Amino acid sequence: MTDPLKPCTRSCVRAGTEDTPDYLPATHGAYCARCWGRLDQALIQAPELAAHILGNITNTGGASDDRVDSSRDAPLPFNQAAFDDVSELYGLLVYWCQEWAGYLEVREIAPTARVWRRVSGTVIGLPANVTPEKGSAEVARMTGWLRDRLDEILTLAPDDIDEFDEGIKDVWRMAARWPLIEKPRYSKMPCPELGCDARIAVFPPRAPGGVKSVSCDSGHYFPEEEYDALTLRLTVDRLEQARQARAEGRARQAAARTEQQKAEDVRAHLWRKYGGEHRVESA
């Protein structure tokens, strides 16, 4: 059982506490909720994203207007960029299902029949002319297998987890390349991860009672609770900065009045001391 006090393997800290680190606990395998959530949310989104990209194969929507007649049987026009991206996504998921099945010593999930393979047998994409519905279902089979075992996977070698994490980031990149109808709003707060100032996209819940999906354009994911805490802290910090700015402004005005009063006092003193004599001499 995971020790709730054990820190995340990556020594993740709650955003905004880098100076005095508040380490996030390992609540999923050896990793924190942020590391787990980034993977889980990408796996949740992948089937719908696959259906959306497949729907763009035979139209001009999406990231590219390049259309290629890739096969005699394919309907025209054919969007090669969409086909390449969804094939890459499926091949990525199949690869990691096979890898983790070996590490966990469990039976791997078989890819769909007529899958696109290299000569070596490596799966590199979905079958030709797959429908959005079928493609989404096949991607969902793979992501479901991974999600069911995600906590267990997150107990394995950190180097392998890092490679898996980097690969799964492609889901977020493809989501930006092929945006779904439901557009995100962008937060005024830049990504708080150290060295990253990318914009933060906030996707609304996909169903009533659901949670927001929050990630920056560079792929950093934030649980809804942590994002809400960060935005509250940002609001408090900005209010404090505004209060300090007003206080400094009032201090500057007071200082200016003090200097002006000193100058007026000097002029009055000189007038009292010399002013009368000048009037007599003038007469």
**Beta partners for 100?**
none
Identify the DSSP state of 178: S
What confidence tens digit (pLDDT) does each residue in 136-188 have?
Answer: 998 999 999 999 999 999 999 999 999 999 999 889 888 888 877 567 788 88
Residue located via tokens 């914009």: 199
**Token pair for residue 223?**
């649980």
Is residue 234 exposed (0-12), middle (13-18) or buried (19+ Cβ within 10 Å)? middle
Angle at 211 between CA 87 and CA 7, to 5 degrees: 85
pLDDT for 209 beyond 50: yes
Chain-centroid distance, C-alpha 118: 33
Q: Give the model's pLDDT for residue 30.
A: 94
Dihedral of CA atoms 6, 8, 11, 14 in degrees, nearest 10, equals: -100
In total, the chain counts a number of residues equal to 283
What confidence tens digit (pLDDT) does each residue in 167-180 have?
Answer: 998 898 888 888 77
Domains in the chain (CATH in brackets) are: 33-181 (1.20.120)
SS3 assignment, position 67: strand
**Beta partners for 116?**
125
How far apart are the C-alpha atoms of 24 and 8, rounded to whole Å?
6
Q: Give the model's pLDDT for residue 196.
A: 86
Identify the DSSP state of 185: E
Output the CA torsion sign for 179, 209, 31, 10. positive
